[in-house]
Structure 1
Amino acid sequence: MSSEVRFTDFKSDKQPTWCPGCGDFGTMNGMMKALAETGNDPDNTFVVAGIGCSGKIGTYMHSYALHGVHGRALPVGTGVKLANPDLEVMVAGGDGDGYSIGAGHFVHAVRRNVDMTYVVMDNRIYGLTKGQASPTSREDFETSTTPDGSKQPPVNPMALALAAGATFIAQSFSSDALRHQEIIQKAIEHDGFAFVNTFSPCVTFNDVDTYDYFRDSLVDLDDEGHDPTDYDAAKDMILDSSKEYMGVIYQDEESVSYEEQHGLTENMSEIPDGAPEDAMDLVREFY
């Protein structure tokens, strides 16, 4: 850990308004500890978030931040990273924000492999709008707007990521503080787009996917001897709907980020007039 930076340096003076017991507290604490442990500090960290209970995380963390609109956090994070590759870019979202309106951006962010970390606080419900079924809710999960269940199978975000060519896929649990921090650290250290789906229970509107449920059901891959570089084993786990896994499920250790592949390693604010047109074209393709 950096001798100069502590995780508390990432805490802002704004008090979170999440419900007492919300899993997002643990998710955020793990992110802050991982940033400090990897030698980052608030001056070189940029946090982007969308809409939902996760959306104000940038307000609660002391760093550069942008609170964007619903489902659009990833393109903002991509722009930030390409404009200033020296920044550590963390993108945060929820299962509704990321896998519904933001699903298209998710797939393309995965395939581009820009070097940033995407942490999704998955509580399997729309908490901010008072408890509707989300893309990851169970098919029979009853809510005020789906009293007989959603009648739709849940989205498998890890399968989406793998199909899009992800180079880092992990799953964590906000209540397991040490493992959550370790997994986020590995994501930050990965060269390329790192995706971490984090189970972050909603204590107010979801009485099914609870802390006790995840404690009893999660299988820790460290205990299973799983090799995350084994693509076929990772695919089998991701498609196995009978178990919930925690840990790094897949990692391509040979991954090279988009910006490294295309020479986009300079701070855009410092690129002089007359920069090579092909470099500018690579940036424009995102817009």
Structure 2
Amino acid sequence: MTAVTPPVSFVPKDFASDQEVRWCPGCGDYAILKATQKALAEVGATPDKTVFVSGIGCSSRFPYYLATYGFHTIHGRAPAVATGVKLARPDLDVWIATGDGDGLSIGGNHLLHVLRRNVDLQILLFNNEIYGLTKGQYSPTSHRGTRSPSSPHGTQEEPVSPAQFALGAGGRFVARAIDTQQKQLVEILKAAHAHRGTSFIEVFQNCVVYNDNVFATFTERAVAAEMQLWVAHGKPLLFANGTRGLRLKPGTLMLEAVTIGEEGITEADILIHDQTSKPLALMLAALQPPTMPVALGVLYCSPTACLPLAPAQGAIDPAALPQQIDAALHRGDTWTIESRADS
């Protein structure tokens, strides 16, 4: 009787590479890396079947620090490369690490299309509202009035909301987390991994050097309970230790924050989170301090069919690939440009 070899079980440290992790001391990226390694171990991922693809920026150093396969690609193009990896090897678990500058500025077009195509991969967008790697210029998510080397008098335009962008682009899984809140971040990463299709996670990440405490209005311990709303499917939208909640303002389709016990309001009046409702997800993504709490957790999850693979995708013969590529390049009309003696 042949003995059955039990599957190898990996722990978080098995996903740590031998490279020295080099971000600024206190950077939120360290926390995101630790959470990712823990989540990979808990979902049963294996290093030889996992790929991290990144563009350019502080966040894009991610592939160096994980003992998996990885590509450090060019600015904003990680979604295109990751799509190619997934189409060529659908058996691989593909992740994208990007930032608010890399993903939403030069990479906005690529990010939009990977979301609408619903490629089966996970996107981690580190949002620190600044260009950290290139010394602190304002980014697409910087709040209005941000002073930086590229906006000395303060920015004039309204910022991009990553979560709203993902929802508008057709994303089927959109979530938010905070870098240092490890328990919640790990659970969100695991939920994203379980979702078939493109999973988009915006992580509020603190840049201690160029944009320190930019999220203090909802991350500081003194205000966290009042300004953080962690949503859960089928549960009431409560915050402030259950003393406050959200409801639809009577006669409107707008959310308002109310206090349990005031004006006869009870928990029965509080809206129940439905993660399959895109209109609700859009309203939650738009909430912001100081008048409303920041919505965190899985805002939207409504699975649909993933991007279909090419008909012959499952039967690729690596040995025949060079000939197939050559044949594709020479298919159709071709011509030769010859040099002229009198030119």
Secondary structure of the equivalent of 1:266? helix
2:149 alignment counterpart: 144
Q: Is the 8 A contact 2:218 2:294 kept in 1?
A: no
Q: Deviations over 1:55-90 (max 9, x none)?
A: 111001110000001101110100000000000001
Paired residue for 1:251, among 282, 295, 301? 301
Structure with more relative contact order (C-alpha pairs < 8 Å, separation 6 or more):
1
Q: Distance in 1 between matches of 2:179 and 2:162?
A: 18
Stretch moving more, 183-192 or 205-214: 205-214
Q: Distance in 1 between matches of 2:23 and 2:157?
A: 29
1:193 alignment counterpart: 198
Q: Distance in 2 between matches of 1:104 and 1:243?
A: 30
Paired residue for 2:186, among 181, 184, 208? 181
1:272 deviation in Å?
7.3
Q: Does 1:219 align with 2:251?
A: no
Q: Does 1:48 align with 2:53?
A: yes
Q: Does 1:75 align with 2:80?
A: yes
Distance 1:37 1:211, change over 3 A: farther
Stretch moving more, 141-150 or 108-117: 141-150
Paired residue for 1:230, among 250, 273, 277? 277
Equivalenced residue count is 271
Query: TM-score, structure 2 length as denominator?
Result: 0.74
1:276 alignment counterpart: none
Q: Does 1:239 align with 2:244?
A: no
Q: Is the 8 A contact 1:135 1:154 kept in 2?
A: yes
2:253 alignment counterpart: none
Q: Is the 8 A contact 1:202 1:210 kept in 2?
A: no
Q: CA RMSD in A?
A: 2.1
Show the 5 A alignment for 1:85-100: 85-100=90-105
Q: Which consecutive unaligned segments of at least 5 residues does structure 1 have? A: 274-279, 281-287
The code of the aligned residue for 1:252 comes to S
The code of the aligned residue for 2:190 comes to Q
The code of the aligned residue for 2:300 comes to Y
Secondary structure of the equivalent of 2:53? strand
The code of the aligned residue for 2:176 comes to Q
Q: Distance in 2 between matches of 1:193 and 1:22?
A: 27
Secondary structure of the equivalent of 1:126? coil
Q: Is the 8 A contact 2:118 2:306 kept in 1?
A: yes
Distance 1:190 1:161, change over 3 A: same
Query: TM-score, structure 1 length as denominator?
Result: 0.88
1:192 deviation in Å?
0.2
1:134 alignment counterpart: 139
Q: Is the 8 A contact 1:12 1:61 kept in 2?
A: yes
1:27 alignment counterpart: 32
Q: Is the 8 A contact 1:26 1:177 kept in 2?
A: yes
1:277 alignment counterpart: none
